[in-house]
A and B are shown apart, each in its own frame.
Chain A
Amino acid sequence: MSDYNFAYLDEQTKRMIRRAILKGLAIPGYQVPFASREMPMPYGWGTGGVQVSAATLTPDDTFKVIDQGADDTTNAVSIRKFFERTAGVATTEETEKASIIQTRHRIPEAALREDQILVYQVPIPEPLRFLEPRETETRKMHSLEEYGLMHVKLYEDISQHGQIATSYAYPVKVQDRYVMDPSPIPKFDNPKLEMAAIQLFGAGREQRIYAVPPYTKVVSLDFEDYPFEASKADHACDLCAARDSYLDEVIMDDAGGRMFVCSDTDYCRSRREAGHSGALASPAPAQEVPA
């Protein structure tokens, strides 16, 4: 660890990121430009989230990283190891024990507390980017609060598919002012954006940081006659039988066999340890499953 400055980044870079985070918290949902640095991982692997985490971590923190809900995938493991090595912080896979959680594309199932911080990795921070490619124009649209184009997009979804077909990175309006991309979380997670924890968003390649303070009003865009609906696979988890968690569909064989499992691995594990058992779970190793 002594080979690096604490949490890898130099102090001046951290100050620059910290100033951006403070302005982001003061203007919820507004994308603050920042001078994103080269990180020892490719763009698209969470360089924005990593820089925000590095500027936020203290040696007393317990750090957790999830990649689409899982603690044990390549991206999550390598970022966790990165901070173990460069910051010497404690790490955990348990949501409850973590003080900072860096996430790629999920919000943990367990409700977060006031003393926790959720750091999102964001690929495209601009919700209007696929509708208007020019940064000069999208910036003007945000400044004029001109979000008609986004509603037209959602309307076209309805006219083509009979419903709003956007299922992830579902746009939200923050505190009645800025339309924000919540990063590509499933729209199932959108209602959880109003939470007790501080939420920080970092987009490394696009050089933007934004934030949502605790209890900030976050509304998913919709229409009166087509209200927003947080959807998930209509199934129970095949390992822990949870009906309230977001599920991944896993193809089991070439004959159409499949199973649904919680995308939040820690949530699923803690439920199985508490004795819950799904349809395809292997028999509980030791303890009796209560009837």
Chain B
Amino acid sequence: MPELTQPELTQPELAQPSADVYSGGFADPAVASAHAFRAAMDVMARPGTWRPLTGGQAPEGLSIAAASLLLTLCDPDTGVYLAPDVDSATLRGWLAFHTGAPVVAAGDADFALGGWAALMPLDQYRIGSSEYPDRSATLVVELPRIPAPNARLSGPGIKETAQAWVPDLALMQRNAMLYPLGVDFFFTCGSEVAALPRSSQITAEG
């Protein structure tokens, strides 16, 4: 069991949580999380496709899709790493109030959340072991907009090939080479989600 490291918060922030902390959860958790999970499962099973994912609202500019993912998948059993660009006392409070998930260091995380640059380096996340490749991190990458495709995917979930955008071609190809180890990605932008599992083979477009 990895040790859960809880980075320290200053006292004044803890003493006066923003009202945002308590708002923005699923209105009807059982039904909303069921719909959110189906969107998440659908994109994980079909790499490269974007689907709407709504229901949750986190404070301070986190996308609806990312908030819904956290509400659907995180609970006291999952360590969450917040990259520096999204980490805040309010988001920590929101995460604790709505999911109970502990905030942990990147190396212990089941889920990591942030912008692409802030989440790097990629090799700090768990990739699983050869006997338990499922014990690996899932990265939720926040995007300011949905970029144009720059890569071609093939593999499970893809009929022949699919066009997709990947943040760093060489790095993602290296992640795919680790198969069956590696990390898996969700990309979130506004209320849209896409996924890139480790099983996808990635080549440059064109």
9 smallest A-B Cβ distances: which pairs?
A26-B197, A213-B157, A6-B30, A143-B130, A216-B156, A23-B134, A213-B45, A213-B156, A58-B34
With contact pairs A56-B41, A214-B46 given, residues A175 and B199 touching in the complex (Cβ less than 8 Å): yes
With contact pairs A15-B72, A19-B73, A214-B157 given, residues A58 and B35 touching in the complex (Cβ less than 8 Å): yes
Q: Which residue of chain A is the closest to B160 with respect to CB atoms?
A: A215
Q: A23-B184, A56-B38 are in contact. List 17 more A-B contacts (CB 8 A).
A: A11-B29, A11-B30, A16-B77, A19-B110, A20-B134, A22-B138, A26-B44, A26-B197, A26-B198, A27-B197, A30-B180, A58-B31, A139-B131, A175-B199, A198-B42, A214-B159, A216-B156
Interface residues of A in 125-156 (CB under 8 A from B): 139-140, 142-144
Interface residues of A in 98-145 (CB under 8 A from B): 139-140, 142-144
The answer to whether A215 and B180 have CB atoms under 8 Å apart is no
B37 neighbours in A (Cβ, 8 Å)? 14, 18, 55-56
Q: In the complex, how many angstroms separate the beta carbon of A212 from the nearest chain B beta carbon? A: 8
Tally of contact residues, B, Cβ under 8 A: 40
Q: Which residue of chain B is the closest to A197 with respect to CB atoms?
A: B45
A42-66 vs B, CB cutoff 8 Å, 1 = contact: the mask equals: 0000000000000111111000000
Is B116 an interface position by the 8 A CB rule? no
Q: In the complex, how many angstroms separate the beta carbon of B51 from the nearest chain A beta carbon? A: 12
Tally of contact residues, A, Cβ under 8 A: 44
The answer to whether A25 and B159 have CB atoms under 8 Å apart is no
Is B113 an interface position by the 8 A CB rule? no
The answer to whether A5 and B131 have CB atoms under 8 Å apart is no
Interface residues of B in 158-205 (CB under 8 A from A): 158-159, 179-180, 184, 197-199
The answer to whether B156 and A30 have CB atoms under 8 Å apart is no
With contact pairs A25-B45, A56-B41 given, residues A143 and B156 touching in the complex (Cβ less than 8 Å): no
B159 neighbours in A (Cβ, 8 Å)? 214-215
Is B90 an interface position by the 8 A CB rule? no
B binding-site residues for A, Cβ under 8 Å: 29-31, 33-35, 37-38, 40-42, 44-46, 72-75, 77-78, 110, 129-134, 136, 138, 155-159, 179-180, 184, 197-199
Task: State A15–B34 Cα separation when bound (angstroms).
Answer: 10
| Among B31, B45, B78, B132, contact of A198 (Cβ-Cβ < 8 Å) | B45
Is A159 an interface position by the 8 A CB rule? no
The answer to whether A59 and B31 have CB atoms under 8 Å apart is yes
| Among A60, A143, A177, A217, contact of B179 (Cβ-Cβ < 8 Å) | A177
Q: In the complex, how many angstroms separate the beta carbon of B114 from the nearest chain A beta carbon? A: 19
The answer to whether B34 and A25 have CB atoms under 8 Å apart is no
A6-38 vs B, CB cutoff 8 Å, 1 = contact: the mask equals: 110001101110111111111110101100000
Q: Which residue of chain B is the closest to A143 with respect to CB atoms?
A: B130
Task: State A214–B160 Cα separation when bound (angstroms).
Answer: 11
The answer to whether A25 and B41 have CB atoms under 8 Å apart is yes
Is A83 an interface position by the 8 A CB rule? no
The answer to whether B46 and A32 have CB atoms under 8 Å apart is no
With contact pairs A15-B72, A26-B198, A139-B131 given, residues A215 and B157 touching in the complex (Cβ less than 8 Å): yes
Q: In the complex, how many angstroms separate the beta carbon of A118 from the nearest chain B beta carbon? A: 12
The answer to whether B184 and A22 have CB atoms under 8 Å apart is yes
Q: Which residue of chain B is the closest to A144 with respect to CB atoms?
A: B130
Q: In the complex, how many angstroms separate the beta carbon of A196 from the nearest chain B beta carbon? A: 8
Q: In the complex, how many angstroms separate the beta carbon of A185 from the nearest chain B beta carbon? A: 20
Q: In the complex, how many angstroms separate the beta carbon of A3 from the nearest chain B beta carbon? A: 13
Task: State A15–B37 Cα separation when bound (angstroms).
Answer: 9
Q: Which residue of chain A is the closest to B76 with respect to CB atoms?
A: A12
With contact pairs A7-B34, A175-B155, A216-B156 given, residues A25 and B73 touching in the complex (Cβ less than 8 Å): no
Q: Which residue of chain A is the closest to B133 with respect to CB atoms?
A: A27
B156, B180, B199 interface centre (most CB from chain A within 10 Å): B156
Q: In the complex, how many angstroms separate the beta carbon of A39 from the nearest chain B beta carbon? A: 18
Q: In the complex, how many angstroms separate the beta carbon of B167 from the nearest chain A beta carbon? A: 17
Is A178 an interface position by the 8 A CB rule? yes
